[in-house]
Chain A
Amino acid sequence: MNQPAASVRDEQKKDSFGAKLAKLLSDFSVHYMWEKKWFFIAMIVGAIMLSLPVPDGLSREAWIVLTMSLVATILFVTEPIPLPAVALLIILGQVLLLGSASSDVAKSLWNDSVLFIMGSLMLAVAVVKQKLDKRIAWIIVRITGTKTTRICFGISVVSGLLASFIGEHTVAAMMLPVGITLVTLTSDDPKKVRNLAAVLLFSIAYGCSVAGIGTPSGGARNAIMIGYWREFFYDPSNPETQRFIIDYVTWMMFAYPMFLIQLPFVTLILFLTFKPEYRDLSRAVVKLRAQVESEGPMKAADWVSIILFLLVLIGWIFVSDEVGMGTIAILGATAFLVAGLVRWEDINSGVNWGVVFLYGAAISLGIEMKETGAAQWVAENFLAMLAPIGANEGFGLWAAVSVLTTAATNMMSNGAAVAVLGPVVLKVAVVAQESPIVIGFITAISSGFAYLTVVGTPACTIVYASGYLKTTDFLAVGWKMVVVSTIIMLLAAFVYWPFLGI
């Protein structure tokens, strides 16, 4: 008696389950396809390009590498899949499409630039965890007094000086609470301090951003460009090419003055754009002082971390051309771990390891661009395109490269922009008989001009997480920064760099 009833129930159950599954599948596939549309578009573009006949003057391999770069760029910009997955696709493409040996591809993923990126990220977490931010804030307000303009300028200068050595993301993460604390101590009502919050937080973000160009350790993009120069032009058998090894001090001679000139403009532009509600922050400063005093005097651990940090700086400046910048960065991170100043767990959760991976894959693809001749071909076509407007040489070409890089860097992260554009612009320099070093610097420096969007530079992204800024604020003040920075850079390239003998 029981059995038929049970089977009917089972039947019904199965039925409804089947219907549910069908609905689930249709919902899922529609939603999935929609969410991932750019992935499919990129893949279709790739498939079409590969099935077309190879253009004249290109080898089959070069065409494949070019296709992969284009597909990767689409994926970088639209982000339909997690970005580390793009890195994996690049590796797969090199083995499966290009036919490179798996071990060769694996080897090409690591070099000193990637090691440096990884080491400096670990170092960044270690530095932020030292909690020296309150003391730094206190030193700033002690020197500047309580006037809003002076505090903002002080914050920009100190953030900038630190960021130029340990990277903009590090300092932005460290100084963000300083900015917010000054805002919240002034007034609890966010509406009353909207402009004050904007000037304080942008002073941190832009102070860090303009500093990122200052030294090779200021950002991943600089290390990538140094790696490309070595990879593209350095030939150990030819002493002439020694000049393409740009060491720490040489880079600083090129770029550091530019950063210093930009600093006052940051404060000026911010105060012209946002009129802060409070001209004087004495109330907030008094409370901040009380907070710092509750920390007590500097402890031994604080001193050790400052000394370690200074040692890393000295290492970068004086011995990095012998042992590599990556080695010093890793040495520094190891020292912090050995001294017990930071826990591995903090480093592990604070570093996005996928990014390290992504840079490795992007650089490896960039080198393939050069070796297969794809970069050369793109460079020739790019120049032919610029020739009618007279931008195929000299100053015009510099400006064109700068505009191209600025456009790219506002759409994707600045490191990715340099990794993707680097091989092409360096070949452009060769074809146009310009100095690859000047063009390389212009690319690396312009890639820092991503002031327009929240996602442009790491410092902007981190500061935006505070919730005090709107996306439109970035546009309102960003374009002025782009214009001023571009003019300063082109002037430096025109007037100052020739003195350095390039």
Chain B
Amino acid sequence: MAETDIDLERLYEERRARYRVLVCVDGSDESYRGLEYASQLANNPNSDIILLYVRPIDQGLRSGGLQVRVARENMLSWGLELPGIKYLKKGLEQLMTGEGMASDWGEKITHTDIEGDPLGDNKIEYTNEGGRSIVLKLKTASTIAAGILDQYELGPYDLIILGDSGSWGGWAKSLWDPAVAEKVAMHAPCSVLVARELARGKGHLLCTDGSDHAMRMVKRSGVVAGKINSHLSVMSVALDVESEPDAQKNVDAAVTELKAMGVEPVNAFTRVGSPFEEIISAGEDYSFIVVGSDGRTGLKRFFMGSVAFKVMEHSKKSVIINR
């Protein structure tokens, strides 16, 4: 028992040292664009990509008491592929063409049975000699968001990428049935990228308020921008005209920081007004909006809300919440 604990801990530490990206695939085009972004971001020996498909556990009453597995088994016996496997395979193909993944990658398949399901949890791991790995994982969980969050518990990740599943409602809607992306963004302990019409090339817009976590976000973004060869811009929003010099100071601090890292920001500007509205309108011209988030978790995050969340909720662009 103790030994397995230590093993797990060691594994955890090993994983901590690597740059691990979790890409949630649901068959939509958006999720594959997210995967493409991930493959560029993680295109070095110290990075891993994990492709995840989560299927909610079937609820017997909905199918009239006949388990959906009967239909799935019937599909399998016709030689048809189930949706999750199909989506993951497509993702793998995309990765292989993207970065010339050679066939000499080792393959390891594991399977865990889940009660009442012909598939259970399945995992295929591809590793190369340099220690890079690509993992395909098919998982069942009570809800999709819970499945993604559980996956974080199994191995720490540095970034979770998921496509916007749409239907972000207001307060009432989020109480009733929060969208998957919203829930994951709220609970995940690491950075989350919500992809919306993910297009590259227009660069990242970093939004800083001068706080420590915002500065950390600027630093990390500097590293990322170097990796994927994208340009950066910095902005800060002042609540009123009097405090605009403060905002300017925040921007300057960020620019200095970036320059020290050898990254030259394209634009650096301030706006006056309501932070989240200004960020969203400024963000229209960029591919990504990057916002920092402090360490608040769960309920606190929900009740206190934050600019980061409002941006994520209302923006039409891809948003990265950096933690």
Contact = CB atoms under 8 A, between A and B. Distances in A.
Contact of A458 (B62, B72, B77): B62
B103 interface: no
A432 interface: no
Contact of A30 (B65, B146, B299): B299
Nearest to B72: A465
B213 to A, nearest CB: 20
B66 A352 contact: yes
A413 B116 contact: no
A169 B58 CA distance: 14
Interface stretch (B78-86, B201-209, B282-290, B315-323): B78-86
Nearest to A212: B64
Interface string B67-106: 1111110110110101110110000000000000000000
A117 B60 CA distance: 13
A457 B61 CA distance: 10
B80 A125 contact: no
B235 to A, nearest CB: 33
Contact of A455 (B62, B116, B187): B62
| Interface residues of A, dominant DSSP | helix
Contacts of A125: 66, 70
Interface string A332-360: 00000000000000000111101110100
Given A356-B65, A413-B64, A172 B71 contact: yes
Contact of A128 (B27, B70, B80, B297): B70
Contacts of B60: 83, 352, 354-355
Given A180-B75, A354-B60, A173 B66 contact: yes
Interface in A156-186: 167-170, 172-174, 176-177, 180-181, 184
A381 interface: no
Nearest to A359: B65
Interface residues of B, number: 34
B262 to A, nearest CB: 38
Contact of B80 (A124, A173, A177, A358): A177
Interface residues of A, number: 51
Nearest to B55: A465
A131 interface: yes
B301 to A, nearest CB: 10
B298 interface: yes
A220 B74 contact: no
B59 interface: yes
B113 to A, nearest CB: 12
Contacts of B83: 465-468
A147 to B, nearest CB: 23
A167 B64 contact: yes
A31 B62 contact: no
A240 interface: no
A173 B83 CA distance: 16
Contacts of A176: 71, 74-75
B63 interface: yes
A169 B64 CA distance: 6
A219 B65 CA distance: 10
18 contacts: A35-B146, A37-B175, A124-B70, A128-B70, A133-B78, A173-B71, A177-B74, A181-B80, A349-B69, A350-B67, A351-B65, A352-B67, A354-B60, A355-B60, A455-B59, A457-B64, A458-B63, A468-B83
A-B residue pairs, 9 tightest by C-beta: A467-B83, A352-B60, A458-B64, A355-B65, A173-B71, A169-B64, A30-B298, A177-B78, A169-B66
Given A176-B71, A354-B61, 4 more contacts: A168-B64, A177-B75, A351-B65, A413-B61
Interface of A: 27, 30-31, 33-35, 37, 79, 83, 117, 121, 124-125, 128, 131, 133-134, 167-170, 172-174, 176-177, 180-181, 184, 219-220, 349-352, 354-356, 358, 413, 415-416, 455, 457-458, 461-462, 465-468
